[in-house]
Amino acid sequence: MTNHVDDTGAQVRLSTAPRRIVSLVPSLTEAIAASAPETLAGVTDWCSHPIDLDAVRVGGTKNPDVAAIIRLAPDLVIANAEENRADDVDALRSAGQQVWVTDIRTVEQALTSMARLLEAIDAPSCSWLDDARSRWDGLPEPPAAERRRAVITIWRRPWMHVGSDTYAGDVLRRLGVDNVLAHSPERYPRIRLEDLPPYDLVVLPDEPYAFNAHDGPESFDPTPCALVDGRSLTWYGPAMVQAPEILGSQLALAMHDGDRAI
């Protein structure tokens, strides 16, 4: 029996490398599928990558079917402190399940957390993680004159935004975009548009709310809006490898259009 410690400080006891894993987070599912695909026994209804994913569906991230998970007899359940409810994690642990909870709020934490998890499950293929670290460690620091102050909006009706201490905020910071709500007391504050602090860019991801060219930008006109790939912005895992290029080009397009309009 080997004792591990997850990101929250909880002990996880594994007698051998897990051969049956249930993942309750889409980005973690993608990471396990890329690193130890034969181990995935169960995933959530929202796990969409890889597209050929073949595993039992066990409900949503916020409402997993605890009984169904237990019936799958997993060696390990993987969850996230932000995505999953503490009550569900507690219920699984009370039923004797070993649950590894990640808590990821920066790019560096994502790389470190995923490395620890993949080592604990003895994943045979982790090349994507090396590629992600190389890509993010190699990013140049954007010049101060090119940085933008942005509001990162993730929902409407009501309007919700990225606040403090978030992975998405750190991703954008590294790409030269500073979150005007980075010092909010809340991680995802509900703030009316007229009450937002000054900003010169709006970032609108296509998840969790599916912002698009016809739904979102009109509310911020004439401020330039960057319609960005939500997976690149919020998923830690293999999506991190291409995220700088994808987000960088989407941000640059919006800023170029904004500068041209001035």
Q: What is the per-residue pLDDT across 201-215, written as a single tens digit (0 to 9) for each?
A: 999 999 999 999 999
Which of 136, 166, 181 marks a domain boundary? 136
Co-location of 235 and 167 in the same domain: yes
Whether residues 104 and 155 fall in one domain: no
Are residues 104 and 217 both part of a single domain? no
> 31 with 241: CB under 8 angstroms?
no
Query: Judging by beta carbons within 10 Å of its beta carbon (0-12, 13-18, 19+), is residue 10 exposed, middle or buried?
Result: middle
Do 115 and 202 share a domain, yes or no?
A: no
Residue 196 is part of a domain; what is its CATH number?
3.40.50.1980
Residue that finishes a domain, picked among 69, 104, 136: 136
Domain-ending residue, one of 102, 136, 170: 136
Q: What pLDDT is stored for residue 257 in this prediction?
A: 65
Query: Are residues 25 and 53 located together in one domain of the fold?
Result: yes
pLDDT of residue 259: 52
At CA 261, angle to CA 258 and CA 262, rounded to 5? 95
Based on the structure, what is the number of domains in the chain?
2
Q: Is the pTM of this model over 0.85?
A: yes
Identify whether residues 151 and 256 lie together within a single domain.
yes
| pLDDT given for residue 262 in this prediction | 41
Structural domain boundaries, residue 116: 2-136
Regions of the chain with pLDDT less than 70? 257-262
- Rounded Cα distance between 259 and 201, Å, is 11
Residue 87 sits in the same domain as residue 210: no
Q: What is the predicted pLDDT for the residue at 256? A: 73
